[in-house]
Amino acid sequence: MGSLKEEMKTTGWAARDPSGVLSPYTFTLRNKGAEDVLLKVICCGICHTDLHQIKNDLGMSNYPMVPGHEVVGEVMEVGPEVTKFKVGDCVGVGCLVGCCGSCRPCKADVEQYCNKKIWSYNDVYTDGRPTQGGFAGSMVVHQKFVVKIPEGMSPEQVAPLLCAGVTVYSPLNHFGLKESGLRGGILGLGGVGHMGVLIAKAMGHHVTVISSSDKKKEEALDVLGADDYLVSSDVERMHELADSFDYIIDTVPVHHPLEPSLTLLKLDGKLILMGVINVPLQFVSPLLMIGRKTITGTFIGSMTETQEMLEFCKEKGVRSTIEVVKMDYVNTAMERLAKNDVRYRFVVDVIGSNLGNE
C-alpha cells in the first residue's frame, strides 16, 4: 500500500499566462494524508470552464495552471484510513477536492455550496500548495471527493458526466423533477445541454430542445433523441407551446432574454439557469407572478449526487457524445472549443499520451 508520505512528482500540461497555451509542466504532488487516494489519470474531459480559467477570463487565474476537472483514473495507493476505495479501483474526480466539513452545506452533504470549498485546480489546498487538475499523470485526492465508477462504464464515456452530467442531474434531483412524464425544455445544445437531453430522456421526460436557429435540429432529434425542437423566434410555435413546460434548463452562457422561456412554463414551472453570465439579466415580474413561476439556479452537484448520477447513467445506458484526443492536440482542442466546434465534449486520453518533460 505504501506510506503515502514521500513526495512525488508528476508531469501535466499547464498554462503559464493568459495566452492559455498549454505545455509540459513537472510539479510536486501535495503530501498525502491518511484519507488520501493516489490515482493515475486515465482520461480527462475538457469543460468550457477550463478555457475560461487558462485565459483568465474571470480575472482570478494563477499560473502555472494544470486544468481539468472531469477526471477518471485508477487507484494506485490509498492511505491507512481510506475505507471507500482500494488499489485498482476505477474512480472519478470532479470540480472539487476540499471543503470545510463543518458549515451548514457541508453537514447537509451539499458541499458544493461551502464557502470554503477547494477547486480541483487554480486554488490552494489546506497545506498551502496550489491545486492542479487532471491534465496530468497523477493526482492526490481526499476520499470524500472521489467517486467509484460503476463496473462496465468506459472511462472516456464517464469523464463528461463528472461535471456536465451532474450539473443537469442535480437540479432535476433537488427540485423533484425526476418522475416520468414531465415536459422539459433544454435551452442551448452544447456540452451541458446535450447531457441535459440524454439524462432527461433517460428519466422518461418529453424533451424539447430550444434554440435560436434550426441548425442543430437534426442532431437534437435524430442523434440525441429529443422529442421536439423549438426555434425561439418562431412566434406561432412559441404561442402554441406557452404554459406547457414543467421546467427549462437554460445552459446559454451569454446574455439573452428570459421572457420567452418564462412564457413557456406552466403553473409552478421552473427556469433553471446553468450558464455563467457576468451581466445582469432582466424580466418583468408579472411573468412570474401570474404563474407562480420560479427562476433559480444550481451549481454542479454534491458528491452523493455524483455517485447517484453515475449509477443512474449505468442503469439507463446513458452515453455522451465525445471526441477523444491526445494531450499534444489539447491546444487545438481549446481553440475549437472556443468556436463551439465540438460534438459535444473533448476527452483527453491522458494515459495514452506522451506528457513529455518540462
DSSP label of 27? E
- E strand or H helix at 147: strand 147-148
Q: Does 24 score more than 50 pLDDT? A: yes
Contact 159/166 with Cβ under 8 angstroms? no
- C-alpha span between 221 and 217 (Å, rounded): 6
Nearest to 295 by CA among 312, 270, 321: 270
- C-alpha span between 329 and 36 (Å, rounded): 31
Of the candidate ranges 15-24, 73-82, 239-248, 249-258, the one whose mean pLDDT is the lowest: 249-258
Q: Are strands 9-15 and 206-211 parallel, antiparallel or unpaired?
A: unpaired
Phi, psi for residue 244 in degrees, rounded to 5? -125, -10
Which domains does the chain show, CATH number per domain?
Answer: 9-162+321-349 (3.90.180.10), 165-297 (3.40.50.720)
Radius of gyration of the chain (CA): 20
Phi, psi for residue 310 in degrees, rounded to 5? -65, -45
- C-alpha span between 158 and 165 (Å, rounded): 9
Q: What does the angle CA 298 – CA 301 – CA 307 come to, to the nearest 5 degrees? A: 155
What is the tens place of the pLDDT at every residue in 139-193?
A: 999 999 999 999 999 999 999 999 999 999 999 999 999 999 999 999 999 889 9
Q: Does 358 score more than 80 pLDDT? A: no
Predicted TM-score of the model (pTM): 0.93
- The pLDDT value given to residue 69: 98
- C-alpha span between 107 and 110 (Å, rounded): 8
What is the tens place of the pLDDT at every residue in 41-87?
A: 999 999 989 999 999 998 999 999 999 999 999 999 999 999 999 99
Give the SS3 label for residue 212: coil
Percent of the chain with pLDDT over 90: 90
Of the candidate ranges 26-35, 103-112, 196-205, 336-345, the one whose mean pLDDT is the lowest: 336-345
The chain-wide mean pLDDT, for the chain, equals 95
Nearest to 55 by CA among 272, 314, 261, 334: 334
Q: Under 8 Å CB-to-CB from 243, ≥6 apart: which residues?
A: 263, 264, 265, 266, 267, 291
5 pLDDT band, cuts 50/70/90, is low
